[in-house]
Amino acid sequence: MNKTQAPIGLFDSGVGGLTVAAAIKQVLPNESMIYFGDTAHLPYGDKSKETIVQYSLNIAQFLLNKGCKIILIACNSASANAFEEVRTFVGERAVVLNVIDPVVEYVGNEPSLKNIGVIGTKATINSGSYSNGIQSLRPDVNVSSLATPLFVPMIEEGFIFDDISNGIIRSYLSRPELKEVDSLILACTHYPIIMNQIHRFFNFRVNIIDSAQIVAERLKFILSEKQLLNTSAKASHQFFVSDHTDYFEIIAKMFFGEKIVLQRTSI
């Protein structure tokens, strides 16, 4: 196979990374993707760094075996805790990207952003990846971080457009850490799924920064820079999970825009 026609591999702890996959499909319609949702081990956000690293390395090997030219860690918890380890492990066999650096760079190039909130899993927030990265580029910016650990299991269990999800969202977003923010980074790829509820909570007065589009555009730049951009072949996508859940298929179709056939595999 021509290297440009090799697939893009991406992984997440569950369904959240499909928000990134959907953006990639829009920005890079000729690129094939292999997605791995580690549903047997979700959520990653309350796991130790060592555990997240081990899961990530196992998945990286799986994607390498599938011949992926790029491995995108489409999970903030894994990006924050396992990026360097995965990049070292993969070496020259594939390009490794994460979903944090493109967003940090985006904020660093937006002088209008002043008071930024960051919400994510405990693993992501505790790593300081966003706050430290942003303030290294923009010392003038105020960054307020808040762990919102119930969002991922809430989404994975299908509690999205109901009183349960709205109550949890209100409980977190009304915390004093987010009182003065004018922009909010959704530092978890699951969170765009509840973006409308987040918008409504803030009465549409807060700029919501969704990483999916930013990451997709960055991926396009990297592929072009490394002469790996596929401009001819028709895209085909494969979806793997470590444990099958009926809800994954339902929400996958909702956010990827087409029916998805899941293949279960252990890593």
CATH number, domain at 116?
3.40.50.1860
Same domain, residue pair 76 and 105: no
* Continuous H helices in the chain: 18-27, 49-65, 76-90, 101-108, 122-127, 129-137, 151-156, 163-173, 195-201, 211-225, 246-256
* Catalytic residue of the set 116, 155, 188, 262: 188
How far is the C-alpha of 234 from the C-alpha of 39, rounded, in Å?
Answer: 29
pLDDT value of residue 194: 92
Same domain, residue pair 23 and 153: no
Same domain, residue pair 94 and 131: no
How far is the C-alpha of 163 from the C-alpha of 41, rounded, in Å?
Answer: 27
* Catalytic residue of the set 18, 59, 75, 154: 75
Same domain, residue pair 40 and 81: yes
Query: Considering Cα of 159, then 213, then 137, then 123, what sign does the dihedral take?
Result: positive
Same domain, residue pair 162 and 200: yes
Provide the whole-model pTM.
Answer: 0.92
Structural domain including 219 reads 3-98+213-264
Same domain, residue pair 121 and 86: no
Same domain, residue pair 63 and 107: no
Active site annotation includes 75: yes
Q: How many domains does the chain have?
A: 2
Same domain, residue pair 75 and 146: no
The per-residue pLDDT string of the chain (267 residues; one tens digit each, 9 = 90 and over) reads 688 999 999 999 988 899 999 999 999 999 999 999 999 998 899 999 999 999 999 999 999 999 999 999 999 999 999 999 999 999 999 999 999 999 999 999 999 999 999 999 999 999 999 999 999 999 999 999 999 999 988 988 888 888 899 999 999 999 999 999 999 999 998 899 899 999 999 999 999 998 899 999 999 999 999 999 998 878 999 999 999 777 777 777 777 777 788 899 988
Same domain, residue pair 117 and 199: yes
Same domain, residue pair 121 and 183: yes
pLDDT value of residue 193: 86
Same domain, residue pair 7 and 79: yes
Same domain, residue pair 112 and 147: yes
